[in-house]
Amino acid sequence: MSKRTKGNLLLLLTSFIWGSAFVAQSSGMDYVGPYTYNMARNVLAFLFLIPVIYVIGKKKGVTDNAGSGTGIDDVASGEANWKSILLPDRTTLVGGIYCGLVMAVASSLQQIGITMTTAGKAGFITALYIILVPLMGVFIGKKIPRIIWFCVVLAMAGFYLLCVKEGFSISKGDILVLFCSVGFSVHIMTIDHFTSKGVDGVKMACIQFAVAAIVMTPVMFLLENPSVSGLLSAWMTIAYAGILSSGVGFTLQIVAQKDTDPTTATLIMSLESVFAAVSGCLFLNEVLLPKEILGCILVFVAVILAQVPLPVKSKEKRTVAE
């Protein structure tokens, strides 16, 4: 299995986790406010990743030392202490701070916007990041294959059929979710920028959650009235979103994006809405209309086409042969 295929499969798993977390996030909002919910899930994600980083770092240290031909005692004495394992390098730290700031803004806009608009409209507007990412890539000099543009259009048509359930009109909630879409586009491009520098993806994810939680904490106390009883009532939904959706999902996104391009990554992750619709059918007893089923099919076709390798042009073949 190639690195690209492995990365795409990890992104597919990420989109499934995010989509299935839709039920948990919707239920959690019945007990706490959006900032309280996001702060709590980010804290859980941060705490969840600390032992993960330690175990991975310790295992890597033992493997590296064993590969150098040292004895067991030398391996034990040569193992990095907890500080060298957990502390990030400067590039990883900076990347985590930038990703955390962007994610805090984007996720807050989405959570607040959903309370002011319908879920269908919010899903469609958020999905606009599959258009915004390649557009942003063009502005920074990235070349986008024509097939990707076709896939983007096809996926947008699928999202429209899947998510829009009533006449399209602009409300305050719609505008907030639109800005959220811009935020997640910037988040994807930020991850791509720092992963290209060889950062530690898991450490960067851990830092981003800590930064997002720190940013949301004062806002939570200023704009909401968080309570222990509310957090306890929503603890199962927060745990699911914090550990799986945030801790596992965003980490897989960062790790997997090392082996694929951001536009393809965006198309795969956009399947989150499809998995959310399926989760709604299974757990919320929602029924997919024929046009929504067609929308799911269009999105899947777009993702599959994005993975098909394009034939090399004859001119390029001659150049390689020469």
Mean pLDDT per 10-residue segment, the chain (322 residues) = 83 86 79 92 93 82 51 46 82 94 92 74 72 76 77 82 67 82 89 86 91 96 93 91 86 78 74 77 74 81 69 46 42
Residue 205 near residue 4, CB atoms below 8 Å: no
Local structure of 260: helix, strand or coil: coil
Q: What count of other Cβ atoms lies within 10 Å of the Cβ of residue 83? A: 7
- Burial of residue 196 (CB within 10 Å: 0-12, 13-18, 19+) is exposed
Residue 72 lies in a domain: no
Separation between Cα atoms, residue 52 and residue 44, nearest integer Å: 13
Residue 220 lies in a domain: yes
Residue 78 lies in a domain: no
Residue 217 lies in a domain: yes
State the DSSP code for 245.
I
Residue 158 lies in a domain: yes
Query: At residue 199, what are phi and psi to the nearest 5 degrees?
Result: -75, 165
Residue 15 lies in a domain: yes
Residue 320 lies in a domain: no
Residue 129 near residue 159, CB atoms below 8 Å: no
Tally of domains in the chain? 1
Q: Which two tokens stand for residue 184?
A: 């997640």
Separation between Cα atoms, residue 71 and residue 211, nearest integer Å: 41
Residue 74 lies in a domain: no
Residue 295 near residue 160, CB atoms below 8 Å: yes
Q: Return the pLDDT at 62.
A: 47
Domain that holds residue 288: 3-65+88-308
Residue 255 near residue 202, CB atoms below 8 Å: yes
Does the model's pTM come out above 0.85? Answer: no
